[in-house]
Amino acid sequence: MTESSARRPRPAHAGRVPASARAAGALLAALSAPCPAPARGQEIDTLAIRAHTYFLTHDLLAGRGTGTAGEALAATYIVSELRRMGIPGAGPGGSYLQPVPLKEARIDDDGTAVVLVEDVRERAFRSGEHFVWNTGGRSALRDFAGQALFAGTAALAQGALAGRASLDGQVLVVLGTLGEHAAELVPDWIRRGAEGLVLLVPDPRDFALHARSRGPARLFVDAPVDDPVWQSDLPTLIAGPALAAALLAGTTIPPDALDGRRPFAALPLGRALRATIRAEVRDVAAANVAALVPGRDPARRPEVVAYTAHYDHLGTSTPDERGDSIYNGFSDNAAGVAMLLAIADALRRDPPARSALFLFFTGEERGLLGSSYYVSAPLVPLERTVAVINLDAGAPPAPPRRWRVAGGTLSTLGELAARTAARFGWTAEPSGARPNSDYWPFLRRGVPAAFLIPGQEWDGVSREERERLRQRWDRYHQPDDEWAADFPWAGLERYARLALELGRVVAEAPDRPRMLEPPPGTR
């Protein structure tokens, strides 16, 4: 997503030149002759990134909502660009599209409700205003009821529930979201018979963000996918301020439930919860886009380094104060798609030893749908996928000099990223993994995967300027996350450059990255 004007060479035109025009002909020949390949590190065509993001964020695409005509138009654009570059599709017969079997459950807010029962008193709460139904598989979109049991935060919940062999008849209540803990907690709670789960999000702005992100419908993969985080069978609600307060009213929450300094036993809240959902289910047409740059080494060509970015966004949702209801998704994730296209263009001109696989996923915003389906039906076997590099961390408005490599502590890919960044004088710090982007399903299958995340330290920018840039351009999941001609593109150039060089390091190395820890959820 940055801009450096590395231009592709134009073919020379042959033909006889009149003698009277030899000087002019010589000049024209010189101008039209192929230019030498740009030096490595200067290969990211940011003029192309600017153009890609302009198209992908146009209002005509209506925010690229999963399964919408706007998303299909975005997929057509991506395929068109790959064809223009001469990069073949990675599917059977060179096809670019991998259909993803999705269903949409459009929630009827009038028929979807939560009732709290305390003694003989009942209090009703409205869907969309007081709570939203979280993402999940088909089995998670069902009524449930039980006694509310507070288990603290996700980090402490396992210990808080350790003394309970059975959770039959219990609705678990957790403060905050589950994050990376979901991979271990949710399957265990289902095995022990929990009826449902309520995640408390008492901050109004945070709850509004969750509500906007999920929208009026829930999508799920209509195929077996092993995803206890986003496609689990446990019905889950996200409770806003009013419902959270009502659930905890009159209850003294011990400090140990929040800070974990001493063992904490789950706390019955003395009230029952009854949740009902009404939704209309329909099929949704959606697809991943996949393309392959074959490696130059026949011995290593069957192995691939995969680059991933999702091309969907939120579509249309809650209008802002200007009345704008189109969530254009410039930084999330038109920028990531544009960077992948620029990287693909660079690698097809100078292929590495191993092949490079480019995966543009549908449905990330609705629960990593496209990537979860892909790992269950990969176009290239996962055992031949040596590494995954994911781009989905927004559009830095200046060149970052520090990076976080999410998932990097789980495999040697993190150290490779750190060494690659150091070659340019940057710092990349490996960290743990969270189920917040499309690298996660690969990690769960034991494939080394990293999510490159730019930090907040930028070259040539003072602290005051950095804050001004953040206020101007950080529009995460807002309708005004839009394309702008005056966006400073140098940060995206550097983001794409690091990803390009890391992929090259992995693709050229004699050995492939290896896992250092068990995949999430299998410990």
CATH number, domain containing residue 399? 3.40.630.10
pLDDT value, residue 138: 87
Q: Stretch 235-261: mean pLDDT, rounded?
A: 90
Q: Are residues 269 and 390 in the same domain?
A: no
Residue 170 maps to a domain: yes
- What does 161-214 look like in DSSP terms, one character per residue? TTT-S--TTEEEEEES--GGGHHHHHHHHHHTT--EEEEE---HHHHHHHHHHH
Residue 56 maps to a domain: yes
Q: Are residues 74 and 217 in the same domain?
A: no
pLDDT bin (cut points 50, 70, 90) of residue 29 is: very low
Give pLDDT tens digits for 165-218.
999 999 999 999 998 898 899 999 999 999 999 999 999 999 999 998 888 899
**pTM, entire model:** 0.86
Q: How far is CA 140 from CA 135, 161, 236, in A?
A: 8, 22, 7
Give the per-residue SS3 of 100-141.
Answer: EEEEEEEECCCCCEEEEEECCEEEEEEECCCEEECCCCHHHC
Q: Are residues 141 and 197 in the same domain?
A: yes
d(CA 307, CA 339): 10
Q: Are residues 352 and 486 in the same domain?
A: yes
> How much of the chain exceeds pLDDT 70, in percent?
92
pLDDT bin (cut points 50, 70, 90) of residue 6 is: very low
Question: Amino acid identity of 194?
Answer: A
d(CA 415, CA 421): 10
Q: Are residues 75 and 198 in the same domain?
A: no
Residue 385 maps to a domain: yes
| pLDDT over threshold 50, residue 2 | no
pLDDT value, residue 330: 97
Please say whether the beta carbons of 18 and 461 come within 8 A.
Answer: no
Q: Are residues 203 and 247 in the same domain?
A: yes
Final residue in a domain of this structure, among 277, 296, 317: 277
pLDDT bin (cut points 50, 70, 90) of residue 325 is: very high
Q: Are residues 302 and 168 in the same domain?
A: no
Residue 409 maps to a domain: yes
Q: Are residues 354 and 390 in the same domain?
A: yes
Q: What's 11's DSSP letter?
A: P
pLDDT bin (cut points 50, 70, 90) of residue 228 is: confident
Question: Amino acid identity of 119?
Answer: D
Q: Are residues 270 and 369 in the same domain?
A: no
Instruction: State which residues form the domain around 257.
Output: 109-277
Residue 2 maps to a domain: no
Q: Are residues 294 and 175 in the same domain?
A: no
CATH of the domain at 201: 3.50.30.30
Q: Give the chain's domain count.
A: 2
Rg (CA), the chain: 25
Count how many Cα atoms sit within 13 Å of the Cα of residue 450 in the half-sphere of its side chain. 33
Final residue in a domain of this structure, among 254, 277, 300: 277
Backbone angles phi, psi at 500, to 5 degrees: -60, -50
Final residue in a domain of this structure, among 244, 277, 310: 277
What's the CA angle centered on 29, arms 28 and 31, to 5 degrees?
65
Please say whether the beta carbons of 407 and 443 come within 8 A.
Answer: yes
Residue 441's closest CA among 512, 520, 496, 363?
520
Residue 467 maps to a domain: yes
Residue 24 maps to a domain: no
Q: Are residues 216 and 195 in the same domain?
A: yes
Sequence length of the chain is: 523
pLDDT value, residue 9: 31
Q: Find the DSSP H helices in 350-387.
A: 369-376
Q: Are residues 386 and 504 in the same domain?
A: yes
Please say whether the beta carbons of 5 and 38 come within 8 A.
Answer: no
pLDDT value, residue 523: 63
3-state secondary structure of 502: helix
Residue 7 maps to a domain: no
